[in-house]
Amino acid sequence: MKTLTKRLFVRCVPLVAAMGFLMTSVNAQTPAAPAAPAPAASGKTMRMVVSFAPGGAGDFLARLIQQKLQERLGQTVIVENRPGASGTIGADLVAKAAPDGNTVLITNQLVVQAPNLIAKIPYDAQRDLVPVVELGGAPLIFAVNSSKTNATTLKDFFDEVRKNPKTFSYASVGQGSIGHLYGVVLNDQAKIDLMHVPYKGSAPVVLALVSGEVQSAFSDYATMKPHIESGKLRLLGVSRPYPATPTVPTFDKLGYKGLESYSWIGMFMPAKTPNDKVQQLSTEVNNIIKLPEVAAKLQEMGLEMPPTSQAQFATMVNDDFKRWAAIMKTAGIKPE
């Protein structure tokens, strides 16, 4: 198992975004980038640095809240995409920005995973960035192709995998993604040999699963929904309780530990930003994502909208640093 794991991760530095399914499944509904707004009376400009390219969920959310945030703060707010290096380019820019409250990072949980995957990161995410607010998230779901297995439970499916070694595979949105890592952990805990097949995004993952190219996959509910309703896909496990899948058991309840994380998008600021500015931004953004028209858009994307306080989000981020470090250690991964 350890040999296989090392082989799988030997080239995982150029990661596909860990939250790739959310970053690639909203292209059709992403609004065009608006023209830069007229300068606000204060003359100050807030930069929302998105650590991924236009067209993904982080970019969509930034532009969704941009105008409303500008109105509430009374200053110009612009969106600036700084993709690359698994989100570390954008994160580095914000980590080293002046802590005046006018530079914000929008990223996903790659910010807590990258230190365990990339050896030379030019900043310390725990020291140089302060969590501000969670914008939304979704759990990871394990599904199987209904025509490729009769299993209706995760136990039954794993029993089938054990009886047919080197036959079954699972798809994820790429090497180093949450789905990839969760598959490694499940292989280890269940003593099975599901083979990993990486794809470039959620849509290709689900297409491969529906076509039978792979027998199982980790993906998000929104992308799989039509195929679940048609009966082509069957859900066997979810990383945490999810309103859209109330009858699907969590991995924890099924006896598999350490798989409680979910894919989130959050906002960060430079660590030395005055606390009053951090708290103000957290409050304003929380109020914005609760607005009916914004909440409806998030729901369309399959995102939950937990109204977390700044302290609650900071605790979640800190827990994820520990959780992913433990998962990487279990998987035998070392920064490269």
100-148, pLDDT tens digit by residue?
A: 999 999 998 889 988 888 888 999 999 999 999 999 888 999 999 999 9
**16 pLDDT higher than 60:** no
Domain 140-238 has CATH 3.40.50.2300: no
Phi, psi of 141 (to 5 degrees): -120, 140
Domains 20-138+263-330 and 140-238 share a fold: yes
Q: Percent of the chain, pLDDT > 90?
A: 58
Asked if 310 contacts 133 with a C-beta cutoff of 8 angstroms, the reply is yes
| Residue 58 pLDDT > 90 | no
- Determine if residue 54 is left, alpha or beta; phi over 0 gives left, psi from -120 to 50 gives alpha, anything else beta: beta
Q: Band the pLDDT of 28: cuts 50, 70, 90.
A: very low
- For position 43, what pLDDT does the model report? 60
Asked if residues 131 and 308 have their Cβ atoms less than 8 Å apart, the reply is no
pTM of the model: 0.76
Helix extents (H) in the chain: 2-9, 20-24, 57-73, 88-95, 110-113, 125-128, 154-163, 178-190, 202-211, 221-229, 275-289, 292-300, 310-330
Q: What CATH class does 20-138+263-330 carry?
A: alpha beta
Mean pLDDT, range 300-306, rounded to an integer:
79
d(CA 13, CA 284): 35
Domain spans of the chain? 20-138+263-330, 140-238
Place of tokens 């439970």: 153
Please tell me the distance from the alpha carbon of residue 283 to that of residue 261, in angstroms, as a whole number.
24
